[in-house]
Amino acid sequence: MPAPIPLLLIEDEAVLALDLRATLQAEGYAVVGIAPNGPRALELFEQHPEIAGVLCDIHLQGPWNGIETARRLLALRPVPLIYLTALSDQATLDQALTTGPAAYLPKPVSTASLRAALALALHSIARPAPAAPPTAALPEPTADALTRDTILQLDDHVFIKDSHQFVRIPLADILLLEADNTYTALRTPTRRYALRLTLGAVLERLHFAQLVRVHRSFAVNIQRIESFSETEATVAGQTVPLGRQYREAFLKQFLFR
C-alpha cells in the first residue's frame, strides 16, 4: 500500500486540533505535527520537507495570523494549502486568496467537505507529472515571455526587470538576497531590486556559485562577507542571521589551514 500523505495542521484550539488529526488519520493521511502558532508551523515545515499539504486556521494566536503564516511557508516551498476558519467575511476571503489556497473551509468542518477538499488539493501530487520528451529543449525567450519574473544571464552579468526596462547587474555586485514574503530583494552596493520570486527560485535561476544560502530568508555573496560568528554574518555593513542548518554548507566555502 502507498505511504500516507504527510500533512501539517496549524490550529491553536487544542481540542479541535486533536479532533481534526483523528479525522485525517481515519481518512488515511499522516499528520506530521500540530502547530498552535505561526513560528511553530514554520519550524515544523522546515524540519519535515516531506510535508505535502497544509491545513491552516486563519485566526491564530501569536505574532502572525494564518494568512501571514501561510505566506512564510509558501516562500520556502510551494505546497497545497487549505484554510480552515470561522471567519467568512469578504475582506478575509480576499486576503486569503492572495496566497492561492486550494480550498477554504468554514468551521465547523465536516468530514465530507474535508475529504473532498483534500482530494482536490492533493490530486496533483498523487500522480507523477508526465516526463518531458528527452529531446525537448528550453523555449527561446521572446518579447511576450519577458515578465517581472524573468532573469536573463549573459556571461557574468544578469538582466532583471526594473520598472519598464531590463537593467544589467554584474553578478559580483550582488551583495545579498533577502526573502520578503512572496518577493525576494536583491541588494547591490547602490540599489535594491524586488523580484517576484521566492528566494529558492532566484537561487536556482542565478547560476552564481558564490551566492550561498545562510538562512531561510537570506543568501549572501561569499566574496562580500566582512565578518561572521556562530550566529550571524555581516555583508556590506548589514548583519544577517546564520541559521544552524545552513552553517555547515557556509563553512565549506572556506579553506581551513
CATH of residue 176's domain is: 2.40.50.1020
Least confident of 54-68, 86-100, 187-201, 213-227: 86-100
Give the pLDDT band of residue 257 (cuts 50, 70, 90).
low
pLDDT bucket at 157, cuts 50 / 70 / 90: confident
Q: What is the pTM of this model?
A: 0.51
Q: Give Cα 214 distance to the centre of its chain.
A: 15
HSE-CB for 155 with a 13 A CA cutoff: 2
State the average pLDDT over residues 207-229.
90
Assess whether pLDDT exceeds 60 at residue 133: no
Does 182 or 246 have the greater pLDDT score? 246
Task: Tell me whether residue 52 is in a domain.
Answer: yes
pLDDT at 30: 94
- Domain with 98, as residue range(s), is 6-126
Read off the C-alpha cell for 151: 532573469
pLDDT band (50, 70, 90) for residue 128: very low
Q: Which amino acid is at 94?
A: D
94 and 38 in a common domain: yes
**pLDDT attached to residue 254:** 78
Residue 164 resides in a domain:
yes
Instruction: Name the domain count of the chain.
Output: 2
Q: Which whole number is the average pLDDT over 204-233?
A: 90
Residue 135 belongs to some domain of the structure: no
| Residue 103 and residue 170 share a domain | no
What pLDDT is recorded for position 100?
A: 86
